[in-house]
Amino acid sequence: MIEQRLAQWGAGQTYFAVVRFGRFGGFRDIVGLDIASATLADCAERIRAIIDDAQIGRVGYGSIEFVFGAVDDAAAAEALGRCLDRLDRTIRVDGIECRLSGTIAFTALAAQPGPIPDTLGDGLASTLARPGPGRVRLVDAAAQAPPSVEDLDILRALPRALARGELSLHYQAKFNCRDQTVTAAEALLRWHSPVFGALPTDRIIALAERTGAVRDLTVWVVQQVARDQRAMIAAGHPLAISVNLSGMLIADDAFMIELLGHIGAASGPIGVEITETALISDPEAAIRNLNACSAAGVSVAIDDFGSGLSSLTYLKRLPADELKIDRVFVSGLTHSHRDPLIVRASIDLAHALEMTVTAEGVDDPMALSLLRVMGCDMLQGYFISRPVPVPELIRFMDSERSHLRPDDHHAGPGWRVVEALRARR
């Protein structure tokens, strides 16, 4: 039983997948029910041959469900891609050639064993029935659940919130260790709704991705960044600003062309930050569009490096300029034996690939000191500055500029950073 095997894989290492064959009804009409059923049975055996621990579940009308274990999302996607290579083939029956071609949707399962609801397989199959990028698609299991009443209300309120100016951007400064000053910032979405209160950014994005509203939301973010950047430049602070890009948009050629147009119209440099898992659904299209970003002079940063179960195969192919080390490793620098080794190795790897390195979650002077010794290029965290609106960011930058004068010793975040760096030279 599938449920009995779930307990054998660790948390985050169990996956449920559905392979769906396009135009299977026409194939069955041509070859007949017996041959069509035998073909599906043969496909199940081919899956087992590629993934030796695969447990086949429901074999439906042109689809096969199965559970398997993998080290991480990238490894699971790679194994499923090899499955499709074996499943896609031409079948000759009575002199007629029929092409069998499939797509796969997969999702991570919870660690606790238990029955898998039919609705999960149906949800993944329906995902494949809709047009979308990639032969192998990673699906968030939570996204398959029906939205709550409040979620629906939030989605209805989002367009009005954009029109009424309820959404805003906060900016978290990035400190350049070599220049000993702030040279860049990351834009972070904020929505304080008069009805729902302060909404977590992750929730806003997840809901917007379900309806496609993330496209309009991302365009708004870039346009607002351009406006805020003009205000920063007028105040004497020409910062490079980075924006987070949803994984579902990276492989969308038309959207990326539109996005580059908005970025190109800005007065200063605007870069994009992506997570490693954003490439899994359609890596070829994603890498093609990221190459277009690089060609257009738009910097590309890999966000949360290490937390996304990194694939070195993707890393070597990405036209990335910056690697951002996840805060979970930075927070463990002072009380873990392994985290400093991981961080140092990540810095050395990024530098070997000609990337700059930003450490996220720098919240204390000891972490700052260690990262500087390790050769980290940029620092981002509460010890430098919390995310703040544009007027506060400008005041912070003005304060930092004054604190850099030798005769000025006022206390402040920027001054604390510089003093911490100088004290450890």
Provide the percentage of residues in the chain whose pLDDT is more than 90: 43
The pLDDT confidence band at residue 27, using thresholds 50, 70 and 90, is: confident
Task: Point out the domain boundary residue: 144, 179, 207.
Answer: 144
The pLDDT confidence band at residue 206, using thresholds 50, 70 and 90, is: confident
Between 369 and 410, the higher pLDDT residue: 369
Q: Which of 126-135, 217-226, 315-324, 415-424 has the highest mean pLDDT?
A: 217-226
Number of domains in the chain: 2
Between 277 and 63, the higher pLDDT residue: 63
Q: Are residues 270 and 131 in the same domain?
A: no
| CATH code of the domain covering residue 280 | 3.20.20.450
Return d(Cα 185, Cα 238) in angstroms, integer.
10
Q: Are residues 132 and 154 in the same domain?
A: no
Q: Are residues 249 and 295 in the same domain?
A: yes
Q: Are residues 205 and 77 in the same domain?
A: no
User: Which pLDDT belongs to residue 276?
Assistant: 66
* Residue 348: CB atoms within 10 Å: 13
Q: Are residues 265 and 298 in the same domain?
A: yes
Q: Are residues 189 and 317 in the same domain?
A: yes
User: Which pLDDT belongs to residue 218?
Assistant: 95
User: Which pLDDT belongs to residue 251?
Assistant: 82
pLDDT (tens digit, 9 = 90+) per residue, 95-153? 777 778 888 889 888 654 556 666 677 667 666 665 556 688 887 765 555 667 888 89
Q: Are residues 272 and 325 in the same domain?
A: yes
The pLDDT confidence band at residue 1, using thresholds 50, 70 and 90, is: very low
Question: Where is 10: in which H helix or E strand?
Answer: none
The residues pairing with 243 across neighbouring beta strands, listed in sequence order, are 272
Out of 156-160, 210-214, 286-290, pick the least confident: 210-214
Q: Are residues 261 and 396 in the same domain?
A: yes
User: Which pLDDT belongs to residue 116?
Assistant: 64
The pLDDT confidence band at residue 8, using thresholds 50, 70 and 90, is: very low
* Residue 276: CB atoms within 10 Å: 23
| CATH code of the domain covering residue 56 | 3.30.70.270
Q: Which of 363, 322, 308 is nearest to 184 (CA)?
A: 322
User: Which pLDDT belongs to residue 219?
Assistant: 95
Q: Which of 360, 367, 293, 289 is nearest to 334 (CA)?
A: 367
- Contact (Cβ atoms closer than 8 angstroms) between residue 35 and residue 96: no
Q: Are residues 107 and 162 in the same domain?
A: no
pLDDT (tens digit, 9 = 90+) per residue, 375-416? 999 999 999 999 999 999 999 998 876 443 333 333 344 444
Task: Give the mean pLDDT of the chain.
Answer: 82
Domain span at residue 317 reads 149-423
Q: In the structure encoding, which two tokens stand for residue 312, read together? A: 């070195």
Task: Point out the domain boundary residue: 95, 119, 144.
Answer: 144
Provide the percentage of residues in the chain whose pLDDT is more than 70: 80
Q: At what angle do helices 365-374 and 413-423 cross, to 10 degrees?
A: 50
> What is the average per-residue pLDDT within 164-179?
94
Return d(Cα 211, Cα 122) in angstroms, integer.
19
* pTM score, whole prediction: 0.69
Q: Are residues 132 and 158 in the same domain?
A: no
Does residue 22 register a pLDDT over 60? yes
Q: How many CA atoms lie within 13 A of 57 on its CB side?
A: 22
Task: Point out the domain boundary residue: 116, 144, 172.
Answer: 144
User: Which pLDDT belongs to residue 290?
Assistant: 92
Q: Are residues 54 and 154 in the same domain?
A: no
The pLDDT confidence band at residue 307, using thresholds 50, 70 and 90, is: low
Return d(Cα 243, Cα 225) in angstroms, integer.
8
Between 190 and 96, the higher pLDDT residue: 190
- Contact (Cβ atoms closer than 8 angstroms) between residue 29 and residue 129: no
Does residue 344 register a pLDDT over 90? yes
> What is the average per-residue pLDDT within 417-425?
45
User: Which pLDDT belongs to residue 74?
Assistant: 83
Between 371 and 33, the higher pLDDT residue: 371
Q: Are residues 283 and 369 in the same domain?
A: yes
Does residue 12 register a pLDDT over 70? no
